[in-house]
Amino acid sequence: MISRAAVAPSAHSLPYISSRALSSASASSLSRLTSAQQPAAKQSPQPQQQSQQLTQQQTQTQRRGFATVQDAATAHPPRVYGGLKDQDRIFQNLYGRHPPDLKHAMKSGDWYKTKEIILKGHDWIISEVKTSGLRGRGGAGFPSGLKWSFMNFKDWDKDNKPRYLVVNADEGEPGTCKDREIMRKDPHKLIEGCLISGRAMNATAAYIYIRGEFYEEATVLQQAINEAYAAGLIGKNACGSGYDFDVYIHRGMGAYICGEETALIESIEGKAGKPRLKPPFPAAVGLFGCPSTVTNVETVAVAPTICRRGGKWFAGFGRERNQGTKLFCISGHVNNPCTVEEEMSIPLRELIDRHCGGVRGGWDNLLAVIPGGSSTPVLPKHICDDQMMDFDALKDSQSGLGTAAVIVMDKSTDIVRAISRLSAFYRHESCGQCTPCREGSKWTLQMMERFERGQAREREIDMLQELTKQVEGHTICALGEAFAWPIQGLIRHFRPELEARIRQNTQAHGGKEFFAGGWNPNTRLDGKLIAPGQ
């Protein structure tokens, strides 16, 4: 029998064919091929010709682009992401249903078979983390298994220096509140994560650098550490495994810049919190000059569950290269702001509708969303309609997942003023070490404040864009990009709003344009204009 695949034309060879023409072509081809098989035929094709015909038919079958009935029956439907089940949630006490003490933590599965995991060794732990596809949850999204393996360099065991795991709990990104929920509701998950992550890096101790304003979180976490010491879970012979590991808390003073890993290390050492030049990287010369790895609270906290349930289990959530579950902090103009654990790659609209009761006033009232904390570019509604929440999808939309702090803005929002306020935050938090950041954050804030009032010229929009491009990539740490990207997103998607505000302000002053720098058109007549552009 001759299948339909053998006579269907190639989609590459025929750019367009109607269904009627396809049916007639298939019928005629079928009649020719069947007539060739009748006994009246005097000569049968040679074996070589048969082989060539079969090869051509197979090639056409592989290249064709028309779906058949058989194709439709065997085709896999596109996977739908989201709707994480309760049994798959790692942070079971995210909403504080039970006290954060050791007794209730162990009932929830914490500290289960921890000794067995430690005894399997650092290679096995790192292998499971690599298999899971876990990427850093602090914003950069670097593969965690690869980062942890940097500590186990050649002949590391011959180095007599102590080795440290540094946990970054200095959560200062506007809109982000996931790490504080872990420390306040699930502290033992973090402590156990420190132990297992430390074993993967062969660390001797962990320092948890916690934001100074988190007084309650620091208190709960210290109580949990005391419980773990009393139960023999950490300290000398942790969990009876023969591995010694200590956990310390270091409270910061609220500086946003100390969220950068090398500035955090400087702060623990008692110095001013300013980023270091790299190299050397912390894995070689870190805390107190010893090998160190700085990682996020959420990244560390999920490690025990990955080791218990397997890296393949964790990798089963989300798209390729974006596996696992993630804590999303949703705030702004939604009916029920919350922090929720969901599957990676969940559509943004489903995330908001399912867990927050939708946008205030309905989805059509949405203006824009900041998808990953204040340092990620804003996305307008038409992009948010089909946006997936993972690293690669948001990168394709010229934004980023960041800390997964979703800030929702409806149509009542003054988007220019909102971005201007973010510029004020970054201007205040710049450490001033790098000239592009120190001066760039100052000038972008001044320009954004003028755009907010409409006291500018349209050509200054391009000037502002060029200024952010000059800062981007020219600083020691990522704070330069952090204050540049929100402004770039505003210009990319809401340039008409900036231009309309400038025109409205010009019309309010009799059609006279403001001078560059925001000076009133009558400034020259008043004798106050000293230099052009002032």
Q: What is the CA radius of gyration of the chain?
A: 30
Residues 404 and 429 in one domain: no
Is residue 521 assigned to a domain?
no
Rounded CA-CA distance 518/454 in Å is: 9
CATH number at residue 422: 1.20.1440.230
Unique residue bearing structure tokens 């934001």: 211
Q: What is the pLDDT of residues 48-86, one digit of tens each?
A: 555 555 455 554 444 444 344 444 444 566 788 888 899
User: Up-side HSE of residue 428: CA atoms within 13 Å toward CB?
Assistant: 10
Residue ranges of alpha helices (H) inside 133-186 are: 144-149, 178-185
Residues 237 and 371 in one domain: no
Residues 409 and 420 in one domain: no
- What is the per-residue DSSP string for 217-276? HHHHHHHHHHHHHHTTSSBTTGGGSS--BEEEEEE--S-GGGGSHHHHHHHHTTS---PP
Residues 124 and 206 in one domain: yes
- What is the share, in percent, of the chain residues with pLDDT greater than 90? 69
E strand or H helix that includes residue 205:
strand 205-210
- Choosing from 297, 315, 333, the residue where a domain stops is 315
Cis peptide before 280 (omega within 30 of 0): yes
Residues 182 and 257 in one domain: yes
- Choosing from 315, 334, 367, the residue where a domain stops is 315
Residues 155 and 244 in one domain: yes
- Locate 519 and state its tokens: 């000076």
Is residue 281 assigned to a domain?
yes
Residues 447 and 430 in one domain: yes
Q: What pLDDT, on a 0 to 100 scale, did the predictor assign at position 185? A: 94
Is residue 529 assigned to a domain?
no
Q: What pLDDT, on a 0 to 100 scale, did the predictor assign at position 57? A: 52
HEC per residue, 342-383 = EECCCEHHHHHHHHHCCECCCHHHEEEEECCCCCCCCEEHHH
Residues 404/408/409/411 CA torsion (nearest 10 deg): 140
Cis peptide before 337 (omega within 30 of 0): no
Is residue 261 assigned to a domain?
yes
Is residue 119 assigned to a domain?
yes
Low-confidence ranges of the chain (pLDDT < 50): 1-45, 47, 54, 59-74, 529-534
pTM: 0.81
C-alpha separations of 4 from 23, 37, 55 in Å = 10, 17, 16
Residue 366 and residue 384 in contact, taking contact as beta carbons nearer than 8 Å? yes
Residues 6+ apart with CB under 8 A from 33: 2, 6, 7
Domain hosting 16: range is: 1-29+52-75
Residues 149 and 110 in one domain: yes
Unique residue bearing structure tokens 């997964």: 404
Residues 14 and 146 in one domain: no
- Choosing from 413, 442, 477, the residue where a domain stops is 413
- What is the per-residue DSSP string for 69-98? HHHHHHPPPPP------GGG-S-TTTT-SS
CATH number at residue 123: 3.40.50.11540
Residue ranges of alpha helices (H) inside 368-434 are: 381-384, 391-396, 415-429
Residues 253 and 195 in one domain: yes
For residue 201, give the amino acid letter: M
Is residue 530 assigned to a domain?
no
Residues 165 and 66 in one domain: no
CATH number at residue 400: 3.10.20.600
Is residue 235 assigned to a domain?
yes
Residues 167 and 283 in one domain: yes
Unique residue bearing structure tokens 């912390």: 282
Is residue 533 assigned to a domain?
no
Q: Count of domains in the chain?
A: 4
